[in-house]
Structure 1
Amino acid sequence: MIIPDMKSFARLISLFLVLLFFFLFPFGSRAQEITGNVSVSEAGRWADSVYTSLTLEERIGQLIFMRANHSGSGYIKNNGDLIKQYNLGGIVFFAGDPVKQALKANEWNRLPKTPLLFAMDAEWGLGMRLKNTVKYPLQMTLGAISNDSLIYRMGRQIGQQCRRIGIQMNLAPVVDVNNNPLNPVIGMRSFGQSPQSVARKGYFYMKGLQDEGVIACAKHFPGHGDTQTDSHLTLPVLNKSKRELRSVELVPFNYLIKNGVASVMVAHLSVPAYEKRKNRPATLSEKIVTRLLKNKMGFKGLVVTDGLDMKGVTKYFKKEDIALEAFKAGNDILLIPEDIPASVKAIMEAVKSGKIKPEHLAGSCKKILRYKYMSGAYLRKMTDTANLIPNLNKYEYNALAPKIFEKAVTIVKNDDNLLPLSHPDTLNTAILIMGDTSESELEKPFWQVMQTTVFRLDHDAGVDERQEVLGKLEGFNLVIIAVVNTNISAPKHFGISESDIQFIQHIARIKNVVLDVFASP
Structure 2
Amino acid sequence: MGKYIREIIQNFSLSLLIFLFPHLVLASESKTAPNLQKIITEKIAQMSLEEKVGQLFIIGFPQKEIGPDLEKFLSEYKPGSFLLFKRNITSGEQIRDLNNQLYRKSYLYTKLPPLIAIDQEGGTVSRLPIKPAPPNALAIGQTQSPLLAEEMGYQTGLFLREVGFNMNLAPVLDVSDPLTGSFIGVRSFGANPKIVGEIGVAYSKGLLKARVIPTAKHFPGTGNLKADPHHSVVMNKSSLETLQSRDLKPFEAYNSLGENIAVMLSHLIYPALDKSNEPASFSKEISTVLLREKMKFAGLVVTDDLQMQGSKQLLRPEAAALKALQAGADVVMLTWSFEDQAKAFDFVKAAVKNNELPETDLNKKLSRILTVKAFANLYRRNPHQPSLLAGPVMTSKSYAKVEENILDQNLKTNLIAREQQTKERTPSSISKVCVLSPSSTFNSSFKKTAKKETKVLLLSAKSTSEEITAWINKENCPASVIAVTGPKTATTVKALSEDLRGTLIVVNLGSPRLFNEGKGYRKVLQLYFNHKDSGKKVAQHLDEILNANTSHYVLR
TM tier, smaller: 0.7 to 0.9
* Structure 1 position 129, deviation (Å): 0.7
Q: Tell me whether 1:234 sits opposite 2:237 in the alignment.
A: no
- 2:78 is matched with 87
Distance in structure 2 (CA, Å) of the matches to 1:455 and 1:133: 27
Q: Is the 8 A contact 2:119 2:125 kept in 1?
A: no
Q: Tell me whether 1:444 sits opposite 2:447 in the alignment.
A: yes
Distance in structure 2 (CA, Å) of the matches to 1:248 and 1:275: 18
SS in 2 for 1:454: strand
Code of the residue aligned with 2:528 in structure 1: it is S
* Structure 1 position 392, deviation (Å): 4.7
SS in 1 for 2:496: helix
Q: Tell me whether 1:98 sits opposite 2:92 in the alignment.
A: yes
Code of the residue aligned with 1:190 in structure 2: it is S
Code of the residue aligned with 1:483 in structure 2: it is A
- 1:109 is matched with 103
- 2:268 is matched with 269
Distance in structure 1 (CA, Å) of the matches to 2:453 and 2:461: 26
Q: 1:48 to 1:132 in 2, by over 3 A?
A: same
Query: TM-score, with normalisation over the residues of structure 1?
Result: 0.81
- 2:357 is matched with 356
Distance in structure 1 (CA, Å) of the matches to 2:491 and 2:124: 35
Query: TM-score, with normalisation over the residues of structure 2?
Result: 0.76
Q: How does 1:160-179 map to 2 (within 5 A)?
A: 160-179=158-177
- 1:365 is matched with 366
Q: Tell me whether 1:69 sits opposite 2:77 in the alignment.
A: no
- Once the two structures are superposed, residues 159-209 of structure 1 have per-residue CA deviations (whole angstroms, 9 ceiling, x without a partner) of 222222221111111110013644453111111000010001111011111
- 2:209 is matched with 211
Q: 1:495 to 1:350 in 2, by over 3 A?
A: farther
Distance in structure 1 (CA, Å) of the matches to 2:456 and 2:131: 35
The structure richer in helix per residue is 2
Out of 247, 250, 253, the position equivalent to 2:251 is 253
Q: How does 1:22-171 map to 2 (within 5 A)?
A: 35-36=28-29, 40-69=33-62, 78-95=69-86, 96=89, 97-111=91-105, 112-113=109-110, 114-124=112-122, 128-132=126-130, 135-171=133-169
- 1:406 is matched with 408
Distance in structure 2 (CA, Å) of the matches to 1:139 and 1:166: 23
SS in 2 for 1:149: helix
Distance in structure 1 (CA, Å) of the matches to 2:177 and 2:299: 27
Distance in structure 2 (CA, Å) of the matches to 1:315 and 1:444: 53
Unmatched segments (≥5 aa) in structure 2: 1-25, 506-520, 530-556
Q: Is the 8 A contact 1:165 1:388 kept in 2?
A: no
Q: 1:228 to 1:350 in 2, by over 3 A?
A: same
**Of the two structures, which has the highest relative contact order with CA contacts closer than 8 Å and spacing of 6 or more?**
1
SS in 2 for 1:264: strand
* Structure 1 position 259, deviation (Å): 3.6
- 1:5 is matched with none
Q: 1:86 to 1:225 in 2, by over 3 A?
A: same
- 2:537 is matched with none
SS in 2 for 1:334: strand
- Once the two structures are superposed, residues 392-446 of structure 1 have per-residue CA deviations (whole angstroms, 9 ceiling, x without a partner) of 523212222112111111564769989988556x745231414458993234235
Distance in structure 1 (CA, Å) of the matches to 2:409 and 2:331: 37
Distance in structure 2 (CA, Å) of the matches to 1:496 and 1:517: 15
- 1:189 is matched with 187
SS in 1 for 2:214: strand
Identity of aligned residues (%): 25
Distance in structure 1 (CA, Å) of the matches to 2:75 and 2:131: 31
Q: 1:247 to 1:460 in 2, by over 3 A?
A: farther
Distance in structure 2 (CA, Å) of the matches to 1:127 and 1:99: 20
* Structure 1 position 344, deviation (Å): 1.5
Q: 1:231 to 1:496 in 2, by over 3 A?
A: farther
Distance in structure 2 (CA, Å) of the matches to 1:126 and 1:240: 28
Q: 1:236 to 1:495 in 2, by over 3 A?
A: farther
SS in 2 for 1:471: helix
Code of the residue aligned with 1:331 in structure 2: it is A
Q: Tell me whether 1:520 sits opposite 2:528 in the alignment.
A: yes
SS in 2 for 1:503: coil
Q: CA RMSD in A?
A: 3.4
Distance in structure 2 (CA, Å) of the matches to 1:455 and 1:291: 59
Distance in structure 2 (CA, Å) of the matches to 1:142 and 1:389: 24
- Once the two structures are superposed, residues 124-170 of structure 1 have per-residue CA deviations (whole angstroms, 9 ceiling, x without a partner) of 29991122555331110111114321111111222222222221111
Q: Is the 8 A contact 1:226 1:238 kept in 2?
A: no
Q: 1:69 to 1:214 in 2, by over 3 A?
A: same
- Once the two structures are superposed, residues 194-250 of structure 1 have per-residue CA deviations (whole angstroms, 9 ceiling, x without a partner) of 001000111101111112222111111010232111121112221111111001000
